[in-house]
């Protein structure tokens, strides 16, 4: 559906061309590649943590709030240590006189999930920019597209699949 200059809505069809990697495959691949930079705390370890350790961990990630009971704090810490966030962005560029639309995805670095540079250095004796490794982008969709909003919006449904 397209709106013309006079404000009327009409149906139109046009061809879209592109390649897409399934987002689930990208997520699985990034999880495997980032595993060495991630905290691994089992359910048993969470239950065996002293309350002071739970509070310290929550304070380190700025998520400590007075007034919660011990079980709530453990559950909150577990949630923050096990929830990854993915960002997505797109760019339109012209290559060889043809417009191309590229969608990229990457994980967001989060000190609740990932080691800091100092922690990683202490564990491995390897100086590494953990945030740069974690936020390294992956190509999600590459497509031919004009610069109009209508043509770029044609990829919304496939991007949300």
pLDDT in tens, 97-117: 888 889 999 999 999 999 999
- Residue at 55 is within a domain: no
- Residue at 127 is within a domain: yes
Per the structure, the count of domains in the chain is 1
- Residue at 113 is within a domain: yes
Please tell me the pTM assigned to this model.
Answer: 0.74
- Residue at 46 is within a domain: no
Give the structural domain span for 94: 2-39+84-154
Residue 126 confidence (pLDDT): 96
- Residue at 62 is within a domain: no
CA angle 135, 105, 80 (to 5 degrees): 60
- Residue at 65 is within a domain: no
Beta-strand ranges (E) seen in 11-58 are 17-20
Residue 13 confidence (pLDDT): 72
For residue 128, what are the contacts with CB-CB under 8 A and spacing of at least 6?
37, 117, 120, 121
Residue 9 confidence (pLDDT): 85
Contacts 24+ apart (CB under 8 A), 20-24: 20/140, 20/141, 20/158, 21/138, 21/139, 21/140, 21/141, 23/105, 23/140, 23/161
- Residue at 49 is within a domain: no
* Axis-axis angle for helices 70-82, 51-60 (nearest 10): 40
Q: Percentage of the chain surpassing pLDDT 70?
A: 96
β-strand partners of 142: 19, 102
Residue 133 confidence (pLDDT): 96
- Residue at 45 is within a domain: no
């Amino acid at each position: 559906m397209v709106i013309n200059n006079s404000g009327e809505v009409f149906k139109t069809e046009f061809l879209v061309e592109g390649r897409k990697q399934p987002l689930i495959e990208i997520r699985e691949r990034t999880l495997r590649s980032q595993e060495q930079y991630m905290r691994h705390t089992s359910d048993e370890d969470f239950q065996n943590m002293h309350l002071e350790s739970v509070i310290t961990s929550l304070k380190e990630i700025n998520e400590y709030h007075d007034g919660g009971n011990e079980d709530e704090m453990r559950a909150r810490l577990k949630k923050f240590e096990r929830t990854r966030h993915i960002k997505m962005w797109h760019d339109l560029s012209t290559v060889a006189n043809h417009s191309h639309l590229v969608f990229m995805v990457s994980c967001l670095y989060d000190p609740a999930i990932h080691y800091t540079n100092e922690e990683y250095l202490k564990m491995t004796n390897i100086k590494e920019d953990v945030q740069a490794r974690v936020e390294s982008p992956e190509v999600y969709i590459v497509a031919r597209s004009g610069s109009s909003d209508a043509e770029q919006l044609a990829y919304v449904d496939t991007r949300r699949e």
